[in-house]
Structure 1
């Protein structure tokens, strides 16, 4: 019966992964990885950019023999190529920052629950202070202090996101820390670090896993917003946010495609990540496993 139940759960998880949003997200990831192969132009290589073809409408034939399917921006860069390369930056920034924030928040949340007393008080007061401030305000303060750049925006997003993981994980770790198996291992000649890593942490990690996809989508939106404001990825690097920002000044002149297509790609990416996160939540939520 146990084997049959495990098989049914495995089949359910496989069916849950085969959804349209997950397929769209997989295509985005594949397009980002293969951008140098798929993109007709390298938007970082100024030798491939023809300035006299700036703001060309979709479907224009380039001087290099290929067609600008989505047009060009104000610098003459192919919009389709900017989207493909922009996906790489947006995904790398969001995944790295969310994963690092999850590691920090998970560690601090478990440590706070395990030690309690003043350790818990100090960590949770820092969490309360972080979460009491608007997310965008914290991100703006961090990026203004650190300065623009891909590495700095990753650090700024880590500062923004770690507290959410810490609060969620602490609530679960508090419940686990009061169980008999934790009391039993405390009596053994084991270090605190070993008890946390081998016993408490594995049983408290599920909330961080379910929260991770949602925070990745949040990080994509934050990076795009900061880049749109000129405080994130520099304008000469085609993230999705900076590509949308590059075309904002041309909207009033009717050159809609410079912002429209990157904006649509950004929306589709965030939506696909959020739907995939909902699938992850259903798969890891114990209440959804009842047969």
Structure 2
């Protein structure tokens, strides 16, 4: 378990930057100039304004507007909300499913282990984007559908990690002692074996959240992600792709920077968490 000194080490710049990302996403309705997907708040005659242009209402569009007159800065703030929501919910749900499946495979063994791990091996042998595309095409568009698709993509990674840890835990004396008690197997799994197999998933969780952000952005860029009236960073980047050849670079550039910064920050946070939860990495 992490000690007090490790918690102090966790207060690093990537964590502060990620906290700022989350704060901006949560406060978007309060600090954004407009809701860029509310037609009553968008002025079509202010389309494709370059960064720093003053609008008709006296507001300065610091990052410019897109081809429909939507404020780029506001679009980034609202896009962050969807990107973070989809990625965090899908990663947490995938962690719960994957941990349960991996620990169950280690505990029951035999045909249960063989069945679960063959499914895991089959999924991990396929390209991640291919699995995501098949899932989203099968399920259809929508935030709930893309969350489910990302869960399908990610659960297998948690299951493999959890199984490897649970196999070593299942052979320890405290598990042997618990087996001799008249307790249901499900209680042994969730009360004794699963809690001792969670730590490795804690180091994996931030990485998978960043992975989910990238996958959701890619699917939204391809038009297979969240609906157009519920923007994410990926769909915001896609909105300006058709304008790049006309010199209106800012429509895609600034959302792209925000997306890149979010993924990089989450990965740095994952590295910090790995150092906290994995004592062997502190000497590296």
TM-score using structure 2 length: 0.97
- Residues 10-47 of structure 1, C-alpha deviation per residue, up to 9 Å, x if partnerless? 02321x22211111101000000100111011112110
Q: Corresponding residue for 2:114?
A: 121
Tell me the distance in 1 between the aligned counterparts of 2:104 and 2:6.
Answer: 34
**Is the CA contact 1:206–1:284 (under 8 Å) kept in the aligned structure 2?**
yes
Query: In the alignment, which residue of structure 2 is the partner of 1:170?
Result: 163
On the 8 A contact 1:104/1:162 being kept in 2, the answer is yes
Task: Specify which of 89, 93, 105 is matched with residue 100 of structure 1.
Answer: 93
Alpha carbons 1:9, 1:289 under 8 Å: kept: no
- 1:121-200 counterparts in 2 under 5 A? 121-200=114-193
Backbone CA RMSD of aligned residues: 1.3
Which of 24, 32, 47 is 1:31 aligned to? 24
Distance 1:181 1:289 in 2: 28
**Are the structure 2 counterparts of residues 124 and 255 from structure 1 closer, same or farther at C-alpha, using a change threshold of 3 Å?**
same
Question: Normalised by the size of structure 1, how large is the TM-score?
Answer: 0.95
Aligned to 1:256: 249
Shift of 1:237: 2.6
What 5-or-longer segments of structure 1 have no aligned partner? 1-5
Q: Distance in 2 between matches of 1:63 and 1:149?
A: 35
Give the C-alpha shift of residue 289 in structure 1. Answer: 5.9
For the pair 1:13 / 2:7, whether they are aligned, the reply is yes
In 2: Cα distance, 1:205 partner to 1:54 partner? 50
Alpha-carbon displacement from aligned partner over 1:228-257 (angstroms, at most 9, x marks no partner)? 000001233321000000000000000000
Which residue among 58, 71, 84 is the counterpart of 1:65? 58
Separation of aligned partners in 2, 1:147 and 1:125: 27
> Does 2:103 correspond to 1:110?
yes
